[in-house]
Amino acid sequence: MKQSAAQSVPGLSGSGYTAGIDIGGTKTLILITDNSGHVVVRNKKPTVQAEHAEAFIEGVFQQLDEVLQEAGLLRHSLIGIGIGFPGAVNPHTGMIHHVPALPLDGVNLLELIRPYYSGPLYLDNDVNIAALGECWQGAGAGSTQMVMVTVGTGIGGAMILNGELHRGAGYTAGEISYFVVDHRPEEAAGSVSSLEFGRYESLASGTGIGEHARRWLHQRAGGAGEQIIAQAGTIEQVQAIHVLQLAAAGDGDAQAIMAEPIGYMAAGLANIVSLLNPERIVVGGGVSESSYYMSELTRRVQQFTPIEAQLVPARLGNEAGALGAVYGVLQTLRTPAER
């Protein structure tokens, strides 16, 4: 991906199909693409439930076989398989750590997968593959200095710097959920554990926005936030989406609620901009579909840092990761001179 991430894939001779698998905590998406990166079949299912790593991997390959069957293909018709996991993956050794959602902590994925598939494999972290996907076919196309931030239940990050994924010394780079943007010296700092919900995401994630909105509505006296509650049904049913829709429509209460999580998110993104000077930050997740959110976020980031960067919404939605997994395979198949 040096220079630019073109949609065409040079260096692949002959034809072939590639599987991209994005394993999430709740859903697993499998895409099969043809040689030019076009999706020929897609399949989304609840993520395999298994107590042990072996059974888990077997379940993933069962799902893959079903998808392949649908497309009239066999595993050996594939030129490679790319898989993203919600954890810290070393793509070279296949070791995975920090994967609370799945029974894979500390296992060697390459060893587990080899009995099922002996062709080219690309394994990586789920946010890394999403960044790769957006950089290949989405909002990051053409950029060699790109940060991807996904805002959903939590907040995740990944970086493509100088045209390459930056994974960090322990393959945990991008753990921006732990960002501190609201430190007050008078507070005693609490300790964090590696599995806990991060401080930044508890303030600024989709979940965080919902919690903040419900707290705000409970605390306000009569009348305030009426429209939001009407939209959702009850205060307890209020989610980020209700507040965002009304904020975009000009509702003052909804905008007041959004000011806090957008301010926190902006502070974190501004810090990324000041540190890395990326060309672009691609924001993924439901909030990025709101142009109100994106324009307020951009305005606030510019208040926090004089360094310029484009903030753009992700374009590939839930398919970014599986497409990025495909791209990872294609990259590994190129000769060094073509990269």
Helices 206-219 + 240-248 axis angle, to 10: 80
Contacting a copy of itself (CB under 8 A), which of 8, 183, 223, 250? Answer: 183
Stretch that binds a copy of itself, among 15-23, 39-47, 305-313, 323-331 (CB under 8 A): 305-313
CA angle 101/324/293 to nearest 5° reads 75
- Based on the shown chain and the rule CB under 8 A, indicate whether residue 335 belongs to the binding site for a copy of itself: no
How far apart CA 131 and CA 140 sit, in angstroms, is: 8
Nearer to a copy of itself, 113 or 212 (CB): 212
C-alpha distances in Å from residue 33, one per residue of 22, 48, 300: 14, 22, 39
> According to the 3-state scheme, what is the secondary structure of 114-135?
CCCCCCCEEEEEHHHHHHHHHH
- Based on the shown chain and the rule CB under 8 A, indicate whether residue 336 belongs to the binding site for a copy of itself: no
Query: Token match 């395979």: residue?
Result: 329
How far apart CA 68 and CA 31 sit, in angstroms, is: 10
- Based on the shown chain and the rule CB under 8 A, indicate whether residue 274 belongs to the binding site for a copy of itself: yes
- Based on the shown chain and the rule CB under 8 A, indicate whether residue 130 belongs to the binding site for a copy of itself: no
Closest approach of a copy of itself to the CB of residue 278, in Å: 6
How far apart CA 100 and CA 103 sit, in angstroms, is: 8
C-alpha distances in Å from residue 89, one per residue of 85, 129, 168, 192, 289: 7, 11, 11, 22, 29
Question: Would you state the structure tokens that stand for residue 158, as one six-digit string?
Answer: 């990944």
- Based on the shown chain and the rule CB under 8 A, indicate whether residue 175 belongs to the binding site for a copy of itself: yes
- Based on the shown chain and the rule CB under 8 A, indicate whether residue 204 belongs to the binding site for a copy of itself: no
Closest approach of a copy of itself to the CB of residue 231, in Å: 23
- Based on the shown chain and the rule CB under 8 A, indicate whether residue 181 belongs to the binding site for a copy of itself: yes
- Based on the shown chain and the rule CB under 8 A, indicate whether residue 180 belongs to the binding site for a copy of itself: yes
Query: Token match 């898989």: residue?
Result: 83
Nearer to a copy of itself, 257 or 314 (CB): 257
Contacting a copy of itself (CB under 8 A), which of 32, 135, 167, 208? Answer: 167
Contacting a copy of itself (CB under 8 A), which of 6, 55, 74, 192? Answer: 192
Contacting a copy of itself (CB under 8 A), which of 278, 313, 324, 328? Answer: 278
Nearer to a copy of itself, 116 or 304 (CB): 304
Nearer to a copy of itself, 42 or 166 (CB): 166
Helices 240-248 + 291-304 axis angle, to 10: 80
Contacting a copy of itself (CB under 8 A), which of 36, 62, 194, 295? Answer: 194
How far apart CA 178 and CA 155 sit, in angstroms, is: 9
How far apart CA 62 and CA 48 sit, in angstroms, is: 10
- Based on the shown chain and the rule CB under 8 A, indicate whether residue 185 belongs to the binding site for a copy of itself: yes
C-alpha distances in Å from residue 127, one per residue of 58, 130, 166, 268: 23, 5, 12, 17
Nearer to a copy of itself, 123 or 273 (CB): 273
- Based on the shown chain and the rule CB under 8 A, indicate whether residue 157 belongs to the binding site for a copy of itself: yes
- Based on the shown chain and the rule CB under 8 A, indicate whether residue 259 belongs to the binding site for a copy of itself: yes
Sign, Cα dihedral of 230, 235, 236, 242: positive
Contacting a copy of itself (CB under 8 A), which of 77, 108, 255, 302? Answer: 302
Kindly list the residues in this chain that would bind a copy of itself in the complex (CB under 8 A). 145, 157, 159, 161-162, 164, 166-185, 189-194, 196, 199, 259-260, 263-264, 267-268, 270-272, 274-279, 300, 302-309
